[in-house]
Amino acid sequence: MFDLRYIFPWTHKKAPFVNPDLDPVLLVPGIGGSILCAVNEKGRRERVWVRLFAADNEFKSKLWSLYDPETGKTLSLDPKTKIEVPTDRHGLYASDILDPDVVLPMSIVCYFHDLIQKMIDWGYEEGSTLFGFGYDFRQSNRLPEVMDGFKSKLETIYKASGGKKLNIVSHSMGGVLVKSFLALHHDVFEKFVNTWIAIAAPFQGAPGFIMDVLLTGVEFVKGWERELFVAKWSMHQLLIECPSVYELMGNAEFKWPETPLLKIWQKEVDSLGKVSVELKTYNPEESIAVVKSALVNNTVNYKGKTIPLPFNDKIFKWALETQKTLKSAKLPGGVKFYNIFCNSYDTPFSVCYGSEESPIESLQDILHTEADYNCTDGDGTVPLASAMADELSATARVGIPGEHRGVLHEDRLFRILKHWLNAGDPDPFYNPIIDYVLLPTKAECEKYEKHFHHITAQWESLSEDSEDYCKSA
């Protein structure tokens, strides 16, 4: 048979190099980073997160939920719908491209896609040394069902790799999930895990971002594209019943460099009818009462039925226990932990509603008001202070300029991961903290060559007082 590859050679993709000696890696995404499918009573499966077409209607119909305090789970309002996470490609499919139907790649839906491709180039193989853990991000990070699933995943990888300990790479809230597992299943973590690398993890919460999420919702897509996606208010009505969101509230017990505040320009009328405008400020503890008042009459209309959706006290109490659980986590002696946090982006910290010219008359008006942020350094979502405060015995902590989701497409991140995972053709003299290669001296070259029997051809032998001793990577 005539082979078209001789005419169109680009249609033949060369089989990637596979390095069987690599330690297995598990990728754990953050909130919104896993595909969610709605499965009806007949077994029909439909992707409801993420989809960029007919998104809002399906989102409200299948994914809007209510918290069940008996089970600790958030369940869909539609009793005939069950939410599942696809497990194809050993768990990687769920957090690779979140909307596989999109023809042209869009960064908003390409979650771990670039990283997965890089790792395959380094010699990783799906199902052998590369795995993913997608999960229902509506649920609590310490929900027993989630913890059991994570434990099962670790066991599966351990067996598939012939008894090798694995490395975990988590992003965003995935770091909170992993730390919850560490706190609750310390011995299991020690048995199966060699290294954990956390990227942009909100270890102490994201106070400004989450405060506004609880009050007004969130838009994952800006500009004209948002017309294709889930509406901000539709997202709000889901997240108000999600334990994971409450667990990302700013930790009131943490010693922040500055106190995150809720500020409201409020209109006051005294007994004589005199009108005044006052800027009221609330600390994290005081702000809870304000949020409750703002959400007291919040409702959702679902298939003609009005359902109350106030601030959920039971979820909030659960979230406070989660923060205590996270505080108790201790790293096993034989496990390495690395923390990559992002900076150089204005990040919501304190939130203000209303203005002196247009004050808030009723706290319930906040729900339909755009927030004004007092920002701090961070990744646009998680403040630097929160991401740095892992409260673990880290082998290294590295800050890199980057946006919360955008960092997953950054070459510098790939260089750091490649180095810490000892993957590809690692350079032993690369310094991930400063993103430089420290060129070795002649003596160091000779010592390295004697031990490893080879030397990188591009290295030069320099004296330590040479102006070119440090070269950029």
Is 298 exposed, middle or buried (CB count within 10 Å of its CB: 0-12, 13-18, 19+)? Answer: middle
Please say if 404 is a catalytic residue: yes
Helix H or strand E segment including 47:
strand 45-49
For residue 355, the 8-state DSSP code is -
Using DSSP, state whether 150 is helix, strand or coil.
helix
Strands (E), 312-435: 336-343, 345-353, 372-378, 396-401, 430-431
**Largest Cα span, the chain:** 95
Please say if 472 is a catalytic residue: no
Residues 6+ apart with CB under 8 A from 126: 89, 90, 92, 120
Using DSSP, state whether 373 is helix, strand or coil.
strand
What residue type is assigned to position 142 of the chain? R
Strands 193-199 vs 166-171: parallel, antiparallel or unpaired: parallel
What does the block give as tokens for 406? 């955008």
Strands 336-343 vs 193-199: parallel, antiparallel or unpaired: parallel
Q: Which of 96, 99, 136, 379 is catalytic?
A: 379
Contact between residue 260 and residue 376 where contact means Cβ atoms under 8 Å apart: no
Is 387 exposed, middle or buried (CB count within 10 Å of its CB: 0-12, 13-18, 19+)? Answer: buried
Locus of tokens 């700013």: 250
Q: Which of 76, 172, 180, 386 is catalytic?
A: 172
Please say if 328 is a catalytic residue: no
CB atoms within 10 A of CB 10: 6
Residues involved in catalysis: 172, 379, 404
